[in-house]
Structure 1
């Protein structure tokens, strides 16, 4: 199973939606709260993204909630998660 990291905040509705999709699929992931500046800076350096959520699957930044759902609709999310 792939290693999944999600950079998020507790109050972000897009983060909640992305977590729900991963939870529904039974995916284990590491959730990193970026409320602290150092965590947000690390997220920005790793993903290039400035908004949350930012999702990383096996060291590949896949984007945020909309991109995660697009991967799911296209059938590509399962392929990424099986690596």
Structure 2
């Protein structure tokens, strides 16, 4: 089973777009809401090497931020990671 993780902030429009896309595709994901969590923010930065949200991981592989995710979706490379859902 595909494990999808997304670090996000409640007010972030890019996070909302990425989560809406995942939901539209029927993909389950685990969300880490980092708005008020310094611990989760540091965890995200260590895992991704980035400070911006969203940061998306599929099967522990860093996909990137919202633009990276949508580029992978549109290019077809995301299908290799999540199979027939896309």
TM (norm. structure 1) is 0.94
Structure 1: gaps of 5 or more residues: none
> Pairwise CA RMSD of aligned residues?
0.8
Structure 2: gaps of 5 or more residues: none
- Residues paired across the two proteins, number: 82
Aligned twin of 1:30: 30
- In structure 1, what is the Cα distance between the partners aligned to 2:2 and 2:80? 10
TM (norm. structure 2) is 0.91
1:3-82 → structure 2 map (5 Å cutoff): 3-35=3-35, 36-82=37-83
SS in 1 for 2:62: strand
